[in-house]
Chain A
Amino acid sequence: QVQLVESGGGMVQPGRSLRLSCAASGFTFTTYSMHWVRQAPGKGLEWVALILSDGSSEYYADSVKGRFTISRDTSNNTLFLQMDSLRGADTAVYYCARDLHNNFFDHWGQGTLVIVSS
């Protein structure tokens, strides 16, 4: 069955970097676009970034553009989110999600918590 397992979260100081990973299994990773979606404590869902199935294009929310980089390793079926210049407002649970038909998310990981604080 489809599984998405995030890792790499933790507490980090403002201005520092963190790299999140999402290990995918149970499906052909290279045929799906993938996303990162985050949720600040007590808040709603916020889309963060998208990478197309072939890795040819990436898209970012304005709130993270220029600071975050989404990438994928097809040999290891892993999705990444490199987060630089972190801010307090980036504190959230980060979910990876599989995209079906560039339309909706049919599978989500369990999430990994990132806390940006001094």
Chain B
Amino acid sequence: SSVLTQSPSVSVAPGQTARITCVGQNIGSKNVHWYQQRPGQAPLLVIYDDVDRPSGIPERISGSNSGNTATLSISRVEAEDEADYYCQVWDSSGDPVVFGGGTKLTVL
């Protein structure tokens, strides 16, 4: 089954752009979804099907996916963006749901 690798942490100053990557073999052929999890809260879907945003998610949050890397980008980073972010795919072999290990975004 798929293995998704995320960097443990990313730090960015307010107003800058944060990029969080999710690396997996040929991940570009799969639909990648991203969740934001603030401390003490349940995960929240922020990007689905590589690039789509659920209603209520700001346009500052975007996604891309190609080759072996999917990327979650957050522009004009704000303090409220500080959270853990997880990528996820649906896998047709092995476990049907695979999560990346998560990336902690710190706003400096």
Contact = CB atoms under 8 A, between A and B. Distances in A.
Contacts of A35: 97
> How big is the B interface, by class?
20 to 34
A47 B99 contact: yes
Interface string B21-65: 000000000010101010000111100110000100000000000
Interface residues of A, number: 21
B41 to A, nearest CB: 8
A48 to B, nearest CB: 9
- Chain A contact residues, majority secondary structure: strand
Most buried by B among A46, A95, A100, A103: A103
A106 B86 CA distance: 14
B10 interface: no
Interface stretch (B11-19, B70-78, B88-96): B88-96
Contacts of B37: 45
A32 interface: no
A23 B64 CA distance: 35
A103 B43 contact: no
A108 B48 contact: no
A108 B33 contact: no
Interface of B: 31, 33, 35, 37, 42-45, 48-49, 54, 84, 86, 88, 90, 95-102
21 contacts: A37-B97, A44-B84, A44-B86, A44-B99, A44-B100, A45-B99, A45-B102, A47-B95, A47-B96, A47-B97, A50-B97, A62-B95, A103-B90, A104-B45, A104-B48, A104-B88, A104-B90, A105-B35, A105-B43, A108-B43, A109-B42
